[in-house]
Amino acid sequence: MTVDAFESCIGQTVSCAKTVGESDVYLFAGITGDLSPNHVDEAAMSKTAYGHRIAHGALLVGYMSRASTLICDSCGPLTVTHFPVSLGYDRVRFLNAVLIGDTITVNYRITAADRGKSRTLAEVELHNQHGTLCAVATHIMSWIART
């Protein structure tokens, strides 16, 4: 691996959008067992400041994961010699609710590369259709040498 191939990922960006459907929330609730009224009880949530059911925070991280997969195409020289594996998300914050029916856009930007640890760091932001920042995180990607 050359320094140029590794560092060529720095500054790469990708965006992806998704409308959060009721089926997304219910399927996620079923898979995880998180049937909190926040996510599945419209009547209860109509009496809160949110006014409606909200998407699971962990589901939003799942949408961030999609962006991390898409970014790999932007790191072409590195993917020839290395395979990307997510090490996780640091500093995840849910700043504003995502409601069922919102269209979210995830913006993912690689901000740093650590050749010694074979890692990249990325800033991830998730906005709704109104431009409201709803979630942020730092993603850590490990790059495993191909054999």
Count how many Cα atoms sit within 13 Å of the Cα of residue 122 in the half-sphere of its side chain: 31
Domain assignment of residue 98, given as a range: 3-145
**Beta 82-94 vs 119-127: how paired, if at all?**
unpaired
Q: How many domains does the chain have?
A: 1
- Give CA–CA dist 44/33, Å, rounded: 19
Find the CATH number of the domain harbouring 112. 3.10.129.10
pLDDT at res. 1: 43
Residue by residue, pLDDT tens for the chain (147 residues) are: 445 678 889 999 999 999 999 999 999 999 999 999 999 999 999 999 999 999 999 999 999 999 999 998 888 888 888 999 999 999 999 999 999 999 999 999 999 999 889 999 999 999 999 999 999 999 999 999 988
Q: Which amino acid belongs to residue 28?
A: F
Please tell me the predicted confidence (pLDDT) of residue 74.
84
**What is the value of pTM for the model shown?**
0.92
Contacts of 50 (CB under 8 A, 6+ apart): 38, 97, 99
Cβ-contact 108, 67 below 8 angstroms: yes
